[in-house]
Chain A
Amino acid sequence: MPCERKPMRYGHSEGHTEVCFDDTGRFIVTCGNDGDVRIWESLDDDDPKFITVGEKAYSLALKNGKLVTASSNNTVQIHTFPDGDPDGILTRFTTNATHVTFNSIGSRVAAGSSDFMVKVVEVSDSSQQKTLRGHEAPVLSVTFDPKDDFLASASCDGSVVVWNIEEQTQVISWPLLQKSNDVTNAKSLCRLAWQPGMGKFLAVPVETKVHLYERGSWDHVSTLSDDLLTQPINVVSWSPCGRFLAAGSVGGLLTVWDVNSKLCVERQKHEKGFTVCSLAWHPSGSQIAYTDTEGCLGLLDGLGTSTQVAAKKPAKDYDDLFDDDDDRLMDEGLSDTKSPAKKAVGWDDDDDDFLVPATGRVKNRGAFLDDENSLDTGSLKLGQDKFGDNNDDAGSSVAPAAPPVAPLRPVYEGPMPTPPQKAFQPGSSPAHLTHRFMMWNFVGIVRGYNDEQDNAIDVEFHDTAVHHAMHLTNSLGHTMADLSQEGVLLACPSTEELASKLQCLHFSSWDTNKEWMVDLPKGEDARALCLGQGWAAVATSTLMIRLFSIGGVQRELFSLPGPVVCMAGHGEQLLVVYHRATGFDGEQALGVQLLQFSRKKRQLISGEPLPLSQKSYLSWLGFTAEGTPCYVDSNGMVRMLNRSLGNTWTPVCNTRETCKSKSDHYWVVGVHENPQQLRCIPCKGSRYPPTLPRPAVAILPFKLPLCQTTTEKGQMEEQFWRSVLFHNHYSFLSSSGYEIDEDAQNLSQKEQQELLMKMFALSCKLEREFRCVELAEMMTQNVVTLAIRYASRSRRMALAQRLSEIALEKSNQMQEEEQEEPEYSSTRRTSSGQPRVTNILDNMMSSKKSAQLSSSGGKPSKSPVLKPLAPKPKTKVPCAESVFKQGSISRCLCAFRPKTGFQLWLEENRKSILADNPDLEETDVIKEAMGRFRTLSTEERLPSTCKDSLKFYVGVHNLQFS
Chain B
Amino acid sequence: MLCVFASHNSQEEMEQEKRTRPAVAMAGFVQQTAGHKGAYSSQRKKEGEGRSCIRYRCGLTNTIQDVLNQRPGWVEVKDDGEWDFNWCDVGWLRENFDHSYMEEHVRISHFRNHYELTRKNLMVKNLKSEYHIFVEEFKRSPGSTWIMKPVARSQGKGIFLFRKLKDIIDWRKDGSRSEEQKDEAQVESYVAQRYIENPYLIAGRKFDLRVYVLVTSYIPLKAWLYRDGFARFSNTRFSLSSIDDQYVHLTNVAVQKTAPDYDPEKGCKWQMQQLRQYLTAKHGFETVQTLFKEIDNIFIRSLISVQKTIINDKHCFELYGYDILLDQDLKPWLIEVNASPSLTASSQEDYELKYGLLEDTLHIVDMEGRLTGKEKRVGGFDLMWNDGPVYTDVGLEALGSSCLVENTLLGCVNDRQKQLQQLLKPFPGQKRT
Q: Is the pairing of A and B real? A: no
A interface residues with partner B (beta carbon < 8 Å): none
